[in-house]
Chain A
Amino acid sequence: MSQLPLRAQLASALGRTAATLSRATGRGDGSVIGGRVGLLLEPDLLRKLAHEKKLALVSATNGKTTTTRLIASALQELGEVATNAFGANMPAGHVSALSSNKAAPYGVLEVDEKYLPEVLDTTEAGVVVLMNLSRDQMDRAAEIWLLAQKWRRALAGRPAHVIANCDDPLVTWGASTAARVTWVAGGQRWHEDSWCCPECGGPLDRAEGIVNADWACRECTFSRPEPNWILDGEDAIDPYGHRWRLDLQLPGTANRSNAVVALATAAAFGLEPQRALPRLREVKSVAGRYTTVERDGRVMKLLLAKNPAGWLEAFDVTRPDRPIVLSVNAQGPDGRDTSWLWDVDYRILAGRHVYVTGERRLDLALRLDVAGVGFILVDDFSQAVSALPPGDIDVIANYTAFQSIRTEFGRAV
């Protein structure tokens, strides 16, 4: 039986009821509403729930939902794992996740970048996983230099073991006040937010390449730490120099990077790669991301991309010979500002059959026109699908556009 005090148990039970209602009424995955009810009744609930578990917090601009899933899958090798599998990554979602599986000895929580200091303070998690920081929807996200500085303050003087991507200079800076860091050369495809030294503002000299590329400040001593884990093509190289062929079902370099981070995190929990890796290979899709859906012979791969770095990662797993449907909205969770479209280099799509839709399709249409990319504007996703011949199709959408497509296919997972 749970060690939680009665009041906390009651709060958590009521939270679960609300979550069930939310799912039953079709209003969502239920993960946020359950947590909100719980937090209202017991502000210390998260602290109490967290203290019963060995906990990892996972934060980044991109890939945190997928990496959370990978780490949770790996740790299942050790025992039950409570996790916020639906990407509800603020404290209400954390309460909901931890109370849904109170008996689980392990917890893996995806954490919004802004909330990391607060959640770390509340949960006193033993492991913190930090992967990348880049510009995100700017009207709602925090400025990333400031964010990294808050991470530094939050980690200083704590016993937490940090797993951090040393190919990202801003993440490296954010993590480097921690008492103990395992550095992972996990790669960085988007360089536009890290040409300057976060420590002194001087220019960073960067070696060519996306993964395991060295960097150093020209004006101060800030430089890339020696990595303990390295992503090398299709392989992970562990701290002992052993090579592990990843063989994931999830596609693309970004997911191989997420997997190496997951292996390093599993190792921090005492789980060796030969036991963790088979678990990672079982993951096919994450809350609809990378999943394949079908309608009338059209086989569509669904990709979520919310910001410029995310679009680069998505392009990496699309195939040039396939038609592609792009859908962009600008509701609250997407950011109401579409200016980020101008940071994405769409020229890679030139020559493909491109269909443009979503509530802000005119923003995207002009963006493509200026990039010299031909496209067809359609009213909605269904119109794009029926305009295309049967066969394989790539689909990239930002957050609410993705959710609405996913809903058309019965909330595909």
Chain B
Amino acid sequence: MQSSLRIVWIYPDLLSTYGDQGNVLVLEQRARRRGIPVEVVHVRSSDPVPEQGDIYLIGGGEDRPQILGAERLRRDGGLHRAIQRGASLLAVCAGYQIMGSVFGGEEGQPVPGIGLLDISSGRGERRSVGELAAEVDPSLGLPTLTGFENHMGVTRLGPGVTPLSRTLVGTGNGDGTEGCFAGKIIGTYLHGPALARNPALADLLLRWAAGPLPAMDDSWYERLRNERLGAVLKP
């Protein structure tokens, strides 16, 4: 591991509509509490994406910023090079769709994505808004996923990715699964502070970048998780 962990937040000026900053803050806090020095880089859409980051984050946004974000990422190429170098990526909501081959624009028209995940997205019939709970793929060894979704997307997973989870409550990809992963790339519809509600997912990203982590006091995280899961998984 290099001297400090570099967290790169891609295009907060375009794609940070749903409290996406939360994911950056949670990663930063959980690394620092383990004594890992952290450098956070905010990359505006007018600037190049640096290739030397360890963890990349991209968030949600409206249709037009999503299309602009996809165009700029493709033109820039920095994120592709970072992933080839072995960096990890958490892509949320609009940012998740951008990682695929195609997504739906303002009028539902197909817009090309940047092809980092083997998925394709389109516009569904109605908006999915609400709490989501899902069981994570056993190979990742993570507890139940909890979060909030707010999107009209429907995402088809290709053979090159694995579903991140199977939904218990909520819509996710639209076929009973939520999100996906491939290598060190994770995509999810759970927007905003997905990592605040799922600290084990945050730690997975940190371990990919920094190796084994000591335990930390998770009591506020756990209390919030228990309350939210309790609220949606009522017997």
Q: Which residues of A contact B (CB under 8 A)?
A: 135, 138-139, 143-146, 192, 195-196, 201-203, 218, 336-343, 362-363, 365-367, 369-371
> In the bound complex, do residue B13 and residue A341 qualify as a contact, i.e. CB atoms below 8 Å apart?
no
Are B16 and A192 within 8 A (Cβ)? yes
Q: Kindly supply a per-residue 1/0 record for chain B positions 55-81, scoring 1 wherever the CB is within 8 Å of any chain A CB and 0 otherwise.
A: 000000011110010000000000000
Measured CB to CB, the nearest residue on chain B to A193 is B17
**Alpha-carbon separation in the docked complex, A362 to B25 (Å):** 17
Contact B21 A366 (CB under 8 A): no
- Residues in B with CB closer than 8 Å to A369 are 220
CA distance A138 to B130 in the complex (A): 11
B196 touches A196 (CB 8 A): no
On whether the beta carbons of A342 and B25 are closer than 8 Å, the reply is: yes
B201 CB, min distance to chain A CBs, angstroms: 15
Listed by A's residue number, 9 A-B pairs whose Cβ atoms lie within 8 Å are A139-B130, A144-B62, A203-B44, A203-B46, A340-B19, A341-B19, A365-B223, A367-B22, A371-B25
Task: Give the CA-CA distance A339 to B20 in the complex, in Å.
Answer: 8
Q: Across the interface, which residues of A come within 8 angstroms of B130, CB to CB?
A: 139, 336
Is B26 among interface residues, defined by CB-CB distance under 8 A? Answer: yes
CB distance from B46 to the nearest CB of A (A): 4
Query: In the complex the two chains form, is B221's CB within 8 Å of A138's CB?
Result: no
Is B220 touching A366 in the complex (CB atoms < 8 A)? Answer: yes
Given known contacts A203-B44, A337-B148, A339-B148, A196 and B14 CB-to-CB distance under 8 angstroms: yes
Q: In the assembly, what is the distance between CA of A359 and CA of B43, in Å?
A: 35
B127, chain A: closest CB distance, angstroms: 9
CA distance A362 to B150 in the complex (A): 21
**CB-based contact A343/B19 at 8 Å:** yes
When distances are taken between beta carbons in the complex, the residues of chain A under 8 Å from B17 are 135, 138, 143
**B46 — nearest CB in chain A belongs to which residue?**
A203
Q: How far is the CB of A147 from chain B (nearest CB, A)?
A: 10
Specify which chain B residues have a CB less than 8 angstroms from the CB of A139 in the assembled complex: 129-130, 148, 150
- The contact of B21 among A195, A203, A342, by CB within 8 Å, is A342
Residue of A nearest to B194 (CB): A339
With known contacts A138-B18, A342-B22, A363–B224 Cβ distance under 8 A? yes
Question: Are A218 and B19 in contact, with the CB atoms below 8 A?
Answer: no
- Taking CB atoms, residues of chain B closer than 8 Å to A365 are 220, 223-224
B22: which A residues are within 8 A, CB to CB?
339, 341-342, 367, 370
Q: Which residues of B contact A367 (CB under 8 A)?
A: 22, 196
Most buried by A among B16, B19, B45, B150: B19
Tell me whether A337 and B150 are in contact (CB under 8 A): yes
User: Which of B46, B192, B221 has a CB less than 8 Å from the CB of A366?
Assistant: B221
Residues in B whose Cβ lies below 8 Å from that of A192? 12, 16
The CA of A195 and the CA of B45, in the complex, are separated in Å by 9
Chain B stretch 123-156: residues in CB contact (< 8 A) with chain A: 129-131, 148, 150
Chain B nearest CB: distance from A358 CB in Å? 13
Query: Which residue from A145, A339, A370 sits with its C-beta under 8 Å from B191?
Result: A339
**Nearest Cβ on chain A to B129's Cβ, whole angstroms:** 5
Q: Are A339 and B44 in contact, CB atoms less than 8 angstroms apart? A: no
Other A-B contacts than A143-B63, A370-B25, 17 sampled, CB-CB below 8 A, are A138-B17, A138-B18, A146-B62, A195-B13, A196-B45, A203-B44, A218-B46, A337-B18, A337-B192, A339-B18, A339-B192, A341-B19, A342-B21, A365-B220, A365-B224, A366-B220, A366-B224
Specify which chain B residues have a CB less than 8 angstroms from the CB of A196 in the assembled complex: 13-14, 45, 65, 68
Please tell me if the beta carbons of A145 and B21 are within 8 angstroms of each other in the complex.
no
Enumerate B143-197 residues with CB–CB distance to A below 8 Å. Answer: 148, 150, 191-193, 196
Is B29 an interface residue, CB under 8 A from the partner?
A: yes
